[in-house]
Amino acid sequence: MTDDRWRRFCVVGVGGHARTKLIPALRANGQELAGVVSRRPDAAEGAPLFATVAEAVSALPEATAFLIASPPTAHFDQALTALEAGRDVIVEKPAFVTESQARRAVAAAEASGALLIEGFMNRETTTHRLFLEEWTREAPTRVVSTFTLPAVPADTFRADPAVGASNLYDVTSYVLGALIDAGADVSGVTLDGVDEAGRPDRERLHLSGLLGEVEFMAVTGVSDAYANEMRLIRADGSELAFTPFVYGRPGPRRVLRTIDGVTSEQTIDDRNAFEAMLAVPLTRWRATASQRGARMIELTRQLERLGRRLLELRP
């Protein structure tokens, strides 16, 4: 293991995501689980257990990074405690619920010299890089995205009626985040309707609008069938579909190119994106800090705006 990546982590919040994805990823990388923050006595995962982030900050070595996987509404206070102590922080996406929270967290990281990363693991995939390359090479005239799950895990924050726990923040954030990464202006996206409105763990969102001059349409949230695709349609009628577009586990991804009505398929073998994210060199995180902070603030601003519309559509 090189010295230019984190050697140890403290995981904050040990739900299913942390147990099945994040902790196995850091261990696969040969990184140390140095501590766990949870109020559940059975959550230690073989590491020292702390009740609060402040306790963990006081007890753990300074070079310990904090990996926050708690519900979104808890992110800000936990991240701010670690950042103000000069500790690097990765926050499970979406990092924050309001634009003001995002701005304060970014400012705290800049003031202390700590790193603040929004945990979009999909950014570390070959699929995501190819998507950005294709968008840069020739921007589409239309984008169609579908990201729906047949169900969300029971007994999690997703049943919370707060908008920050909704499928808008949990699922749609992947789609909007990828578009912002591509340089698209998502301020013209609107929330047209919600199926199963008022049932947080069942809501399906219908979005549309303009990304500058690019038409956009998306369906995200919970549906009867799983779907995970980002489709770019260009002026000449050609199409490029990435499926699955957002996925963290290792395995094949398909890129379907349709030109003059003929479709060809390219297969990409993506590695475990969680392992890749936790192993990114610190020099790279530092070099991109300003850009990432700006994108984090912009995504949070747009989620907050659409969240107000979601509340209007709920009974």
Give the pLDDT confidence of 200-230 residue by residue, as tens digits.
889 999 999 999 999 999 999 999 999 999 9
pLDDT band at 3 (very low <50, low <70, confident <90, very high): low
Give the pLDDT confidence of 48-66 residue by residue, as tens digits.
999 999 999 999 999 999 9
Is residue 72 reached through a cis peptide bond, with omega within 30 degrees of 0 on the bond before it?
no
DSSP 66: E
Alpha carbons 47 and 49: distance in angstroms, whole number: 6
pLDDT band at 71 (very low <50, low <70, confident <90, very high): very high
Give the pLDDT confidence of 258-269 residue by residue, as tens digits.
999 999 999 999
Give the pLDDT confidence of 101-151 residue by residue, as tens digits.
999 999 999 999 999 999 999 999 999 999 999 999 999 999 999 999 998
pLDDT band at 1 (very low <50, low <70, confident <90, very high): very low
Signed CA dihedral, 172, 178, 181, 185: sign only: negative
What's residue 286's pLDDT?
A: 97
Q: Which two tokens stand for residue 264?
A: 């060809």
Alpha carbons 117 and 79: distance in angstroms, whole number: 10
The model scores a pTM over 0.85: yes
Exposed, middle or buried by CB within 10 Å (0-12, 13-18, 19+), for 24?
middle
Residue 307: which H helix or E strand, with range? Answer: helix 289-313
Segment 13-37 mean pLDDT:
96
- DSSP for 247-262, written as a single string: --SSEEEEEEEEETTE
